[in-house]
Amino acid sequence: MRRAMVLVALFGLACAVGGPAASAFEDKKEVKKGEKGEKGERKELSSETKGAKLLLAAAEMARFGREHKSPEALLAAARAIASVSVQPMDPKNVKDADKEGSDTDKESNENVLKAAQREAMALVDEAVKIAKDKDAIEKIAEPLRTRITAMKRGAVRGPVVRYGTVGRGDRQDTFTIRFKGGEPAVIIVNNQSNRGDIDLVVENDEGRVVAQDRRSDDDATVTFFPRGTHTYYVKVKFFAGRGALRYKLTTN
């Protein structure tokens, strides 16, 4: 029980602060979460940014759960995913407009809600599979499955999602994304193949790198604070791995 409480506390902390794995700051004077705006009032983050931070925390908890064989962490990650209303990326933001990726990518991009449901449900099934006390975990998992099945597009806009594939023969996908000034730009790349190494690089319209994650890791995440509202080039790069690597890009 104590272990579960610690995990829940960690998850709450991750949701509150976002906890990006890599970060860069274009302008340290930009308004950050909890800081005051130009007129002294606290600036409320957009629903897209809140959702992106929650999904970032979910990804970190899922990783923790797999590394430490913790079903509680996997269930927490699934619950977070089920709490966020995701939106499909506008095709005009895909630089290679004629690139649709694999059939699985195309299906996921046509219905990001169903893709999120599959992801959350897979985490629940994984939690039950690794649990030592399967009966206890199943009691938590069953109502969570019901909640995941009942997921629907919310009235409030959530983060934008795009599924894709990179590999040795197709090493990079590029997206043009407009981020708002005054709040963090959050970008998450979940390597859904769970192998290999995917990197993430963000450039401004002058070609200058403003954020990157080139760690030797299967996933990649960055956050940075734009200087005003501008368009950026988000590049998902294949670095290493056998075969094609499927990924999910999430951003606010």
Identify the pLDDT of residue 250: 94
Q: Which helix (H) or strand (E) holds 78?
A: helix 71-82
Sign of the CA dihedral with 142 first, then 246, 54, and 92 last: negative
86-90, 151-155, 172-176 — which is least confidently predicted? 151-155
Report percent pLDDT > 70 for the chain.
Answer: 78
Mean predicted confidence (pLDDT) in 168-193: 90
Most confident of 48-52, 103-107, 134-138, 150-154: 134-138
Tell me which of 122 and 109 has the higher pLDDT: 122
In the chain the domains, ranked by start, together with CATH numbers, are 2-251 (2.60.120.380)
Question: Looking at 61-65, 116-120, 125-129, 190-194, which range is the least confident one?
Answer: 190-194
Average pLDDT over residues 194-211: 92
d(CA 118, CA 112): 10
Count other C-beta atoms under 10 Å from residue 34's C-beta: 10
Q: At what angle do helices 71-82 and 2-17 cross, to 10 degrees?
A: 40
> For residue 180, what pLDDT is reported?
87
**Who wins on pLDDT, 7 or 157?**
157
Q: Are 83 and 144 in contact (CB under 8 A)?
A: no
